[in-house]
C-alpha cells in the first residue's frame, strides 16, 4: 500500500528538522543605506559602509552577522576608509527602515602605511527612530582597540536591543590625530532569518495544502 501524500510530507519534514536541529537561527548583518556627518571629510563617508577594503563581502539583511564578523578584516588603504577632519561633531547612519538592532561591528582605521594615528579609541553611540533625533537613545560609550597594521578585525560592541533606524557616532577620541578615521561599520539585526530546515518545512506544508486543493478528499 502506497503511503499518502500527507504521510510522506511528514516523514520528509521530520528528517529535515532533525538534520538541522543543531543549527541556530541566524541574525543578519545590516549595512547603512546612507550617512551624513558634521565632522568634515578628508576621505568620503560612504567608504565607511560600502564594504570597500573588507576581505569578504556580505548581503545586507541576509548574511549571518556573527559568522561574517568573526573572520572578516578591513584593509586601510586610500579610498577604503572614512577620515573626518575633526573629532568634534557626529556621524549618522541610516539603516533605511526601523528595525531591532543590538550590536555594531566596527572595523577601526588601520593607518596608511600601518600608522594608526587617526584610529578611534572612543565613541558614543546614540539611536533614534527619526532623523532629527527628537528622542535620542544613548546606547553606550565604547573603546575600540588600535592595531599597528593596516589590517583590522571587526570589533563587535553589544547593547540592549533597540528599535531604531538612525544610529549616530559622536564624542570621538582619536589615537593622536586632530581627526578620526573609520574603516567600516555594520549592524546586527535581531530579525531572525529562518534556516534552510525551517524554510523546507514551510514549503512542505504549502505543497500538501496545494495537493489537497487539487485532489480534494483523495489526499488524506
pLDDT tens digits, one per residue of 65-117: 999 999 999 999 888 999 999 999 999 999 999 999 999 999 999 987 668 99
Domain extents in the chain: 1-23+194-215, 26-193
Q: CA gyration radius for the chain?
A: 23
Confidence of residue 4 (pLDDT cuts 50, 70, 90): low
Which residues, 6+ apart, have CB-to-CB distance to 172 below 8 Å?
A: 39, 84, 87, 88, 120, 122, 123, 180
**Confidence bin at 156 (pLDDT 50/70/90):** very high
- Give the pLDDT confidence score for residue 216 in this predicted structure: 56
pLDDT at 126: 98
Residue range 26-193, CATH number? 2.60.120.260
- Comparison of pLDDT for 201 and 48, the residue scoring more: 48
When pLDDT is cut at 50, 70 and 90, the band that residue 53 belongs to is very high
Place of cell 567608504: 47
The two beta strands, 34-37 and 137-142, are unpaired
Which one of 9-18, 106-115, 189-198 scores highest in mean pLDDT?
Answer: 106-115
The number of residues making up the chain comes to 220
* CA 178 to mean position of chain CA atoms: 29
Indicate whether 134 pLDDT > 60.
yes
Q: Where are the alpha helices (DSSP H) in the chain?
A: 5-19, 65-71, 196-215
Residue 200 has pLDDT above 50, yes or no: no
What is the pLDDT, as a whole number, of residue 23? Answer: 40
Can you give the pLDDT at residue 208?
47
Between 206 and 192, the more confident residue is 192
CB-hemisphere CA count at 13 Å for 147?
17
* 3-class secondary structure, 204: helix
**Closest residue by Cα to residue 56 from 71, 66, 45:** 71
Q: Which single residue is written with the C-alpha cell 570597500?
A: 52
Interacting residues of 218 by C-beta distance below 8 A, sequence separation 6+: none
Residue predicted with more confidence, 11 or 26: 26
Stretch (H or E) spanning 73: strand 73-75
Confidence of residue 148 (pLDDT cuts 50, 70, 90): confident
3-state class (DSSP) for residue 197? helix
pTM above threshold 0.95: no
Amino acid at each position: 500500500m502506497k503511503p499518502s501524500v500527507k504521510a510522506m510530507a511528514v516523514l520528509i519534514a521530520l528528517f529535515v528538522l532533525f538534520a538541522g536541529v543543531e543549527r541556530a537561527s541566524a541574525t543578519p548583518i545590516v549595512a547603512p543605506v546612507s550617512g551624513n556627518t558634521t565632522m568634515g571629510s578628508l576621505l568620503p563617508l560612504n567608504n565607511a559602509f560600502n564594504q570597500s577594503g573588507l576581505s569578504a563581502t556580505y548581503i545586507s539583511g541576509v548574511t549571518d552577522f556573527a559568522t561574517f564578523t568573526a573572520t572578516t578584516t578591513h584593509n586601510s588603504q586610500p579610498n577604503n576608509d572614512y577620515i573626518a577632519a575633526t573629532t568634534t561633531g557626529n556621524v549618522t547612519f541610516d539603516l533605511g527602515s526601523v528595525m531591532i538592532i543590538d550590536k555594531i561591528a566596527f572595523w577601526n582605521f588601520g593607518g596608511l602605511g600601518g600608522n594608526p594615528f587617526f584610529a578611534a579609541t572612543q565613541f558614543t553611540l546614540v539611536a533614534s527612530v527619526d532623523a532629527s533625533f527628537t528622542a535620542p537613545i544613548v546606547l553606550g560609550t565604547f573603546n575600540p582597540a588600535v592595531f599597528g597594521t593596516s589590517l583590522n578585525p571587526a570589533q563587535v560592541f553589544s547593547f540592549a536591543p533597540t528599535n531604531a533606524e538612525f544610529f549616530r557616532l559622536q564624542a570621538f577620541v582619536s589615537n593622536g590625530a586632530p581627526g578620526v578615521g573609520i574603516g567600516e561599520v555594520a549592524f546586527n539585526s535581531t530579525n531572525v532569518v529562518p534556516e534552510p530546515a525551517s524554510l523546507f518545512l514551510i514549503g512542505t506544508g504549502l505543497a500538501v495544502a496545494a495537493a489537497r486543493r487539487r485532489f480534494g478528499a483523495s489526499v488524506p
